[in-house]
Chain A
Amino acid sequence: MKKYWMLIKNTWDEALVYRLNFILWRVRVVIRFLITYFLWSSIYSGNQQFFGYSREMMLTYVLMVYLVSNFVFATRTQNIGSEINEGKLTNYLLKPFNYFISLGARDVSDKLLNFGCTVFEFAIIYLLFRPPFFFQENLGLIILAVVAFVGAVGVYFCISVLLGFLGFWTSEIWATRFIFIILLDFVAGNFFPIDILPKILSQILMLTPFPYMFYFPVKVYLGQLTTSATIQGFGVMAVWVFLLTKAMFLVWRKGLKVYSAEGR
């Protein structure tokens, strides 16, 4: 375990080498959040109900997505594709550690760093704007939300790794990731809760893995899902985690067979 701990430590140090760059990255994250926050805050300025959400619930949703997404999104797996294309994957294959655990270790570091910043930023935002925030008091829902949150990390990790593994077959890795990022904004609930979309559309989206990355955990926290919808959601999420994990290992094995360490 000591070697993985060193990976976590090194990834942390690496992120802080270019500090101004890191600070500017965090500034971007906060600005992007504030844009969404102010937009919804302005729409609800008259305290009306829109899309079945009160002002308090919508702003809590936006704030919770900010917290959740900063943890779920924080990853180093976006570099996998270019590491394969440039032959840098060889460095990992030659070292005496499990590739997937090393990916996990690097992700843990990135998540701790970014989530630490997020909590700090959240506190400042809360003190500055005093947004109406719904604190869930039902312990059962909080536990379920944490479980959904862990599942969200799994779903995002698998998809991100799979997108990186495309690098075994093509150098066109950024275009697909670009599409994925756009989809996250709109069909995963990053920008708005997907139940504001027409019902048939949101029902179809609930069968895809996207809403399980932000929308579902936050809705569980808010206690806005019926018991059957919660059970169904966890069921679909479990199926996706299982299928994506299977696919991840299968693609890895197939990819290694065609990997030529090009560029090394």
Chain B
Amino acid sequence: MLKYYFKIWLRFTLSAFQIAFVSRVGAFLFTFAKLMRFGFFMLIVVLIVTQTQSLAGYSLNQSLVFFLTYNVIDTLTQLLFRDVYRFREHIISGYFDYILIKPINPLFKILFGGADPLDLIVLVPYIGLLILFITQLSVTVVTFVSFMLLLINAFLISAAFHIVVLALGILTTEIDHAIMIYRDITSMARFPVDIYSEPLRGFITFIIPVGVMMTFPPKALFGLLAPQFMLVSGVIGIGFFVVSLKLWRYALTQYTSASS
């Protein structure tokens, strides 16, 4: 089963890559724009930390690890889940009917059906820089493994967010901005969520678990995350994912195929 879905994913991804490079100029401009935005934000982080000496107690190097971790998680999720951004169109046009009758899980098709190669291109320097800054920190095997486990947890939460958005898309059809609201909220974690004051910090850490997704992995890497928070993160990740799947299944029962 896993091999079957991997082969389908490869086929989807190759097709998506071919489509993305039909217009090479467009692909180049979008990639350039993404790298430019990354560069500008990195400059802001450097400017703020050098001016304030430390950001919520974090050094420049640590602040950059927070920023780069955010970028890696954000870009990887966009790379994998890009088709979610086109889902409303599928619902409105009735194209979703065709997805439902195909011999694959419809959620798989909508989540993974259109990987974005431009995100793959920009992901390479992000990961390279992240590794570079991590090597300048004193990292142990335990903290690094914790970091990696929390990264996986972050992808799980991110997948759950995307599934919730898909379910809302079926239930309301008027959700053009829902995925962008998710991205706006997660962008708060370009900086460690510790800089925000309560109750906002608690809200974006546990209620909308942006902090668990983006800030906890680097904190674990620095050895600043208590073991019980690792456990809480796992519970939140798995719990959120299970709830999102239940919501998706409920949304499917409400799909009326009205547009087709």
A20, A45, A176: the one contacting B174 at CB < 8 Å is A20
Q: Which of chain A's residues has its CB closest to B36's CB? A: A182
In Å, the complex CA distance between A191 and B195 comes to 17
Return B32 CB to nearest CB of chain A, in Å. 7
Contact across chains for A197 and B188 when beta carbons are under 8 A apart: no
- Measured between beta carbons, the chain B residues less than 8 angstroms from A97 are none
> Complex Cα distance A178/B31, Å?
11
B154-182: which have CB < 8 Å to A?
A: 172, 174-178, 180-181
A32 to B181, CA, bound (A): 9
**Interfacial residues of chain A within 50-77, with CB under 8 A of chain B in the complex:** 50-51
Interface size, A (range):
20 to 34
Against B, the Cβ 8 Å flags (1 = close, 0 = not) of A65-102 are 00000000000000000000000000000000000000
With contacts A35-B187, A38-B200, A185-B40 known, is A28 near B177, CB below 8 A?
Answer: yes
- B29 in contact with A50 (CB, 8 Å): no
The answer to whether residues A179 and B33 also contact, given A21-B177, A24-B175 and a CB cut-off of 8 A, is: yes
Q: When chains A and B are docked, how far (Å) is the Cα of A50 from the Cα of B177?
A: 35
B30 adjacent to chain A (CB < 8 Å): yes
Cβ–Cβ < 8 Å partners of B37 in chain A:
182, 185-186
Could you tell me which A residues sit within 8 Å of B by CB distance?
18, 20-21, 24-25, 27-28, 31-32, 35, 38-39, 41-43, 45, 48, 50-51, 170-172, 174-176, 178-179, 182, 185-186, 191-192, 196-197
Measured CA separation A165–B188 after assembly (Å):
35
* Given A28-B181, A42-B197, A50-B52, A178 contacting B29 (CB threshold 8 A): yes
B26 interface hit (Cβ, 8 Å): yes
Report which B residues bind A (CB closer than 8 A): 23, 25-26, 29-30, 32-33, 36-37, 40, 44, 47-48, 51-52, 55-56, 172, 174-178, 180-181, 184-185, 187-188, 191, 195-197, 200
- Complex CA distance for A217 and B52, rounded to whole angstroms: 27
Cβ–Cβ < 8 Å partners of B48 in chain A: 43
Contact across chains for B196 and A24 when beta carbons are under 8 A apart? no
Chain B residues with CB below 8 A from A27, complex form = 177, 181
- Given known contacts A178-B33, A179-B32, A51 and B51 CB-to-CB distance under 8 angstroms: yes
Residue of A38, A176, A191 with most chain B CB atoms under a 10 A cut-off: A38
**Given that A38-B200, A50-B52 are contacting pairs, would A24 and B181 also be in contact in the complex, using a CB cutoff of 8 Å?**
yes
Most chain B beta-carbon contacts within 10 A, residue among A39, A176, A185, A192: A39
